Structure 1
Amino acid sequence: MGDDANRAADPARPAGLARGTRVLITVAAAVVVFVGIWFARELLVPVAVAAVVVIIAHPVRRPLERRGWPSWLATTVVIAVGYAILAVLGLLLVVASAQFIAILPDYADELQSTAQGVVDWLQSLGFSSEAAATAAGAIDPEQLLSFAAGVADAVLGAATAFFFVLAYVLFMAADASRFSRGTSVFGGARADAIGSRYFSGVRRYYVVNASFGAIVAVLDGLLLWALGIPVPITWAILAFVTNFIPNIGFVIGLIPPAVLALVIGGWPLALAVVLAYSAINVVLQEFVQPKFVSDAVGLSLTLTFFSVVFWTLVLGPMGALLCIPLTLLVRAVLLEPDPTTGSLRHLTGDPRAP
């Protein structure tokens, strides 16, 4: 009775729960949802990968159908393009993993010597022996061999999930054909516009990143070959893959060849690798590439970095590669349809926010 009397006395007071209560309930619901996604990540990651592949390959359908190709044949071509993308990525990962595992035993002694040298240097700077040993453990041969075994297990697990990705691509491509023949995909002009922007943004993001990633990979591979770093193809593939990880991908791709350069050539060679890598990647990834993807993505730098950390925590390593389309999907589903969320969209970096 008291709440009803107060609401009647103040007509401007909104009905229902207080804003703070609604926010807490929304946050609690989001936590429950993402915990559920974490538990189901082995099921959901292949779905997400297949969806991205179909989004990238789907535009192949339009010119074929305009030329009079039957729908089933255009769908077959889309599926073939999707399978080709997956086959190339799978081949790159297998080659890189095999070469990485093969070279570790050949450099075990050098790695051990370098690790001991790092320990001695850190102790001379005043670090305790435990702290120095922990810091040098990153290049300890046993740690790297254990990591190599983990890489082999991950590749085997990816091969197992690959079957499900192929099946999802097949079914999603067929569904996309059916949806493309309808007058409205999402039930309204506004929703269709949001979906169209999302699909085109994801497609452009991956196509542009793949193009620049290939350029970076070739330049990095040639650089490492010229400097005499072993298995430059492996590190070129790593540079290509990590180009899809925003902000920190360059650092992840730099560490292994820099450590190997330190092992075989000492600090001067490692410094040369770091400087040359930085020159190539900073120019392309920080100055040129953003001009092509900023309009398609429209995410602030802070949110982009947070999305890498968050989706990696939720989905594992594949979350780092899928973080941008997943973050854009959350914004497209939760924020863009609501006209009252303009301020939140603006904070995310959306250039179309009112």
Structure 2
Amino acid sequence: MAHHDRALKAVVMLGMLVIIFAGIRAGADIVVPFILALFVAVILNPLVMLLQRIGLPRLLAVALIIGIIVLASVLLLTTLAAMLNDFARTLPQYRLVMLAWLEETRQLMARFGVPFSFGEAMALADPNAAINLVSRLVSQLSGAISGIFLLLMTVVFMLFEAPLLPGKLRRILSRPGDGMAAIQQALDSVSRYLILKTAISLLTGVVVWLLLWLMGVRFALLWSVLAFALNYIPNIGSVIAAVPPVIQALIFNGSWESVVVAVGYLLINLVIGNMLEPRWMGRGLGLSTLVVFLSLIFWGWLLGLVGMLLSVPLTIVVKIALEQTPGGERLALLLSDGRPPGDGRPHSV
């Protein structure tokens, strides 16, 4: 009978999870901006507190930080929009270059007996298709300004609410001591991860820009911003970011330059991703490599690109929440890297 009750309880819980996930997907247009604003507020709150310790009132501290972000966002979006327009205008000029490169590729494939359709390849490399894609990106950048404004307004109200939140939570939680300790642990872990990941991503973007600028690859700033953004995606983000500049260097600069760019991206990933990041992250966040990859797929399916960018901190929150619930310790252990709590070996996610 007890076994039957446990099975029924498990089925009910799974059904509830399915309903919750379906609701989150259906309301993604509302949920995703809220989650993104929440994590931005988590990153900015330590900076606000630092300015408060210096002597600034919280109102001025929040206004100063948000003002800097707005100014930087406007400058970045304006620069990217101009660069994308320039990229679209130059695409037709390279049609002859692409034709010659495809003809060389066809001859090389013919030597090895590999079938190669010149017409289909040229259709894939049609500048008009690329121009349409770039035009859509420019229009999306223009529409992103209103979205960023609403996002920052939500962040502002969250930052003003932050000092009042601990008192409210203590009144709500049934076990205030344990509950506040778990919330603080989650905030500390997520905040530390996001701040360090932002610094590492910024360093990656700067080094990528320097590499492409030295190699004479056009639109270096565009590809460096892409490298910065995709570096938040674990495991595959840096690989995806390397594909467009390598292809551009192969077609427009030459084979040797494309090899150098590819090797440069590989070295950047090895040095920053596999050497500096584990050292800065310390022991890491206690998630296994398999869980990090599966969480990337799951959160990407549930929340789209934002879910992929925030897959690690979201999984951290879930893991800490499971550790505080009866019967959730075993699931939390499955998400962990399996190391004892006292193990201080470096580990990066």
- The normalised TM-score by structure 1 is 0.82
Shift of 1:67: 6.5
Shift of 1:56: 1.2
State the alpha-carbon separation in 1 of the partners of residues 22 and 317 from structure 2. Answer: 18
Where does residue 346 of structure 2 map in the other structure?
Answer: none
What RMSD, in angstroms, separates the aligned Cα atoms of the two structures?
A: 3.1
Give the SS at the match of 1:246: coil
Shift of 1:292: 2.6
State the alpha-carbon separation in 2 of the partners of residues 152 and 85 from structure 1. Answer: 21
Equivalent of 1:105 in 89, 95, 99 = 89
State the alpha-carbon separation in 2 of the partners of residues 246 and 93 from structure 1. Answer: 25
Confirm or deny that 1:278 pairs with 2:266.
Answer: yes
Letter in 2 for 1:172: M
State the alpha-carbon separation in 1 of the partners of residues 120 and 71 from structure 2. Answer: 39
State the alpha-carbon separation in 1 of the partners of residues 264 and 328 from structure 2. Answer: 44
Unpaired runs of 5+ residues, structure 1, are: 1-6, 8-12
Aligned residues, how many? 336
The sequence identity of aligned pairs, in percent, is 26
> Contact between 2:28 and 2:303, CA under 8 Å: does it hold in 1?
yes
* 1:293-312 map, 5 Å: 293=281, 295=283, 297-312=285-300
Confirm or deny that 1:224 pairs with 2:212.
Answer: yes
State the alpha-carbon separation in 1 of the partners of residues 314 and 74 from structure 2. Answer: 22
Where does residue 23 of structure 2 map in the other structure?
Answer: 36
Cα 1:321/1:113, change in 2 over 3 Å: farther
Where does residue 10 of structure 1 map in the other structure?
Answer: none
> Contact between 1:218 and 1:236, CA under 8 Å: does it hold in 2?
yes
Give the SS at the match of 2:311: helix
Where does residue 231 of structure 2 map in the other structure?
Answer: 243
State the alpha-carbon separation in 2 of the partners of residues 78 and 85 from structure 1. Answer: 11
Where does residue 345 of structure 2 map in the other structure?
Answer: none
Shift of 1:24: 3.7
Cα 1:98/1:329, change in 2 over 3 Å: farther
State the alpha-carbon separation in 2 of the partners of residues 138 and 290 from structure 1. Answer: 40
State the alpha-carbon separation in 2 of the partners of residues 231 and 298 from structure 1. Answer: 38
Where does residue 58 of structure 2 map in the other structure?
Answer: 74
Equivalent of 2:194 in 202, 206, 222 = 206
Equivalent of 1:193 in 169, 176, 181 = 181
Confirm or deny that 1:48 pairs with 2:35.
Answer: yes
Shift of 1:332: 3.1
Task: Please give the per-residue CA displacement for 1:40-67, whole angstroms capped at 9, x wherever unaligned.
Answer: 1121222112111111121234455556
Shift of 1:30: 2.2
State the alpha-carbon separation in 1 of the partners of residues 83 and 149 from structure 2. Answer: 24
> Contact between 1:221 and 1:233, CA under 8 Å: does it hold in 2?
yes
> Contact between 2:212 and 2:220, CA under 8 Å: does it hold in 1?
yes
Give the SS at the match of 1:297: coil
Shift of 1:271: 1.0
Confirm or deny that 1:290 pairs with 2:274.
Answer: no
Confirm or deny that 1:164 pairs with 2:150.
Answer: yes
Shift of 1:160: 2.6
Confirm or deny that 1:319 pairs with 2:307.
Answer: yes
Shift of 1:90: 5.6
> Contact between 1:45 and 1:315, CA under 8 Å: does it hold in 2?
yes
Cα 1:103/1:50, change in 2 over 3 Å: same
Cα 1:336/1:307, change in 2 over 3 Å: same
> Contact between 1:179 and 1:185, CA under 8 Å: does it hold in 2?
no
Cα 1:65/1:183, change in 2 over 3 Å: farther
Where does residue 164 of structure 2 map in the other structure?
Answer: 178
Unpaired runs of 5+ residues, structure 2, are: 343-349
Task: Please give the per-residue CA displacement for 1:77-104, whole angstroms capped at 9, x wherever unaligned.
Answer: 1354245346535643542343134223
State the alpha-carbon separation in 1 of the partners of residues 188 and 143 from structure 2. Answer: 31
- The normalised TM-score by structure 2 is 0.83
> Contact between 2:209 and 2:220, CA under 8 Å: does it hold in 1?
yes
